Structure formats: structure tokens, C-alpha cells
Amino acid sequence: MIYKIALDGPSGAGKSTLAKNIASALNIVYVDTGALYRSVGLYMQKNSILPENTQGVIAALPKVKLQMKFLDGTQHIYLCGEDVKDSIRTPEISMYASKVSAIPEVRTFLLNTQRDIAKTTSVIMDGRDIGTVIFPDADVKIFLTASLEARARRRTEELAQKGINEPYEKVLAEMKERDSNDSTRKVAPAVAAKDAILLDNSDFSLEQTFQAALSIIKSRLAL
Ligand code: DC
């Protein structure tokens, strides 16, 4: 049986960790769609095109060559042939990604890349509009969320582990701005699908989040 699990929610809710754990427990593919928007953002930054320059971004899209590969269960993303797995994770590129993702042409540009991956294999895909736009027919839809403060605290720790030391207040402010960009944009705003199950993990450990999500998925898929 091929099935699709849509995992949406705001930044810092822990979607990628959860999706990775679920993918390995169920032996399915994990797709991080934020990496696609981040790669588009990185291309613009590298080519000195500001994300607010909508026409410039649209004009550059045909030159953005993206490829996703799954090596030993880990997603690698290639931008014009170069593995950008790590360089897309900076705060600057987070903001570029958030801004370019509000441009409808960027979303259309990435639509088929996302849909094609799920044609031949079961996936858990994380993003903002997976349950609403990419796979309205997903077998399971989870909207994972947590308070702004909890998400900012986790993101600060995650960045510190990578050697990026950003003050909590700065991370909080940037997250607030991104939340607002992502949830109020006209196209595909980050909102829960009507039939998504809401999971608020503000007070959950990673393990509790995992167990809660796994039981939702198992009961939906009758596994
Ligand atoms: O999940 P992330 O933080 O890596 O995503 C980076 C940005 O990309 C985020 O601010 C919103 C955007 N995004 C989106 O609009 N749709 C998706 N499916 C995934 C990400």
C-alpha cells in the first residue's frame, strides 16, 4: 500500500525531527519541502536578487535547477549541481525562504517536484501547505504546533548546536515575523487543513510527540 502523510505547522514546531522519526519507524521516505523553498532563497541570495524583488525572483526561476536525492534515508538537495543541505540552514536563508515562498510563481514552480516524489513511494512530507494544496487527498494530515516561545527556545538551541549563536530574543522576533509572513500570505497560507488533526506539543518531549503522532497515523491507516 502506498500512502501519504502530510505534516504541516509553523517553524520550530519540531516537524522535521518528528517526520524523520516517523519515516524510520514506518520505513517510508521523509521529504522536507522547506528545503526546496530554502534552496530557491539561497539561489537568490547568491545571485544578489533580493527576495522582495518579486519580478527579479520570477525571472530567475528557470535558472534554479533543483534535484532531491535520498541517500541512506537522508534527503540531499542539489542546487545547480551543488549539495546545499547545510548552507540553506542559516537564519538569513530562513528569511529569504519565507519571503520567496509568498510568491505564487515560486509555489507553482515547486509543485510538481513535491507531487512527483509521492507517486512511487509512501512518504511523510513536512511543510506548510501539504495537507491543503500539495496533497489534499493525503491519507493522514497532522498540523503540529507549539507556542511561539517554545518554538523560539527550541530553535535557539538547535542553532547553538550548529555553532550559530543567536540570542533568544532575536530568534523569537524573527520567528514571529516568519509566522506572520507564512500564515497571512495570499497563496497557500500556513493553516491547518479542515480535516487535519491538531497536535500541540508545547509541553511534550520528543518521545511524547513521536508517540502521539504515531498513534494518530496508525489508527488512520489501520496499521
Ligand atoms: O520548514 P522551513 O522552516 O524549512 O521552511 C522555510 C520557509 O519556507 C518557511 O518560512 C515557509 C516556507 N515553506 C512554505 O511556504 N511551504 C512549505 N511547504 C514549506 C516551507
206, three cell numbers? 520528543
Q: Is 135 in the pocket of ligand 1 (CB under 6 A)?
A: no
62, three cell numbers? 528557470
Q: Among 4, 7, 18, 33, say which to mutate for ligand 1: greatest number of ligand atoms within 8 Å of CB.
A: 33
Assign 221 a pLDDT band (cuts: 50, 70, 90): very high
Closest atom of ligand 1 to CA, residue 94: 6
The answer on pLDDT for 58 being more than 90 is yes
Across residues 50-67, what is the average pLDDT? 97
Burial of 168 (0-12, 13-18, 19+ CB in 10 A): middle
How many CB atoms lie under 10 A from the CB of residue 172? Answer: 19
- Contact in structure between 18 and 210 (CB atoms under 8 Å): yes
Q: In this structure, what DSSP letter does residue 130 have?
A: I
Assign 71 a pLDDT band (cuts: 50, 70, 90): confident
The answer on pLDDT for 65 being more than 80 is yes
Digit-coded pLDDT (tens) for 133-169: 999 999 999 999 999 999 999 999 988 998 999 999 9
Better pLDDT: 136 or 73: 136
Q: For residue 182, how far is its CA from the centre of ligand 1 (angstroms)?
A: 8
Closest residue to atom 6 of ligand 1, CA basis: 34
Of the candidates 135, 107, 112, 93, which has an alpha carbon nearest to the alpha carbon of residue 7? 135
Q: Among 128, 130, 155, say which to mutate for ligand 1: greatest number of ligand atoms within 8 Å of CB.
A: 128
Q: Among 101, 125, 155, 174, say which to mutate for ligand 1: greatest number of ligand atoms within 8 Å of CB.
A: 101
Closest residue to atom 15 of ligand 1, CA basis: 101
The CATH number of the structural domain formed by 4-214 is 3.40.50.300
What is the value of pTM for the model shown? 0.92
Assign 106 a pLDDT band (cuts: 50, 70, 90): very high
User: What is the C-alpha R_g of the chain?
Assistant: 17
The domain spans of the chain are 4-214
The answer on pLDDT for 43 being more than 90 is yes
The answer on pLDDT for 50 being more than 90 is yes
The answer on pLDDT for 72 being more than 80 is no
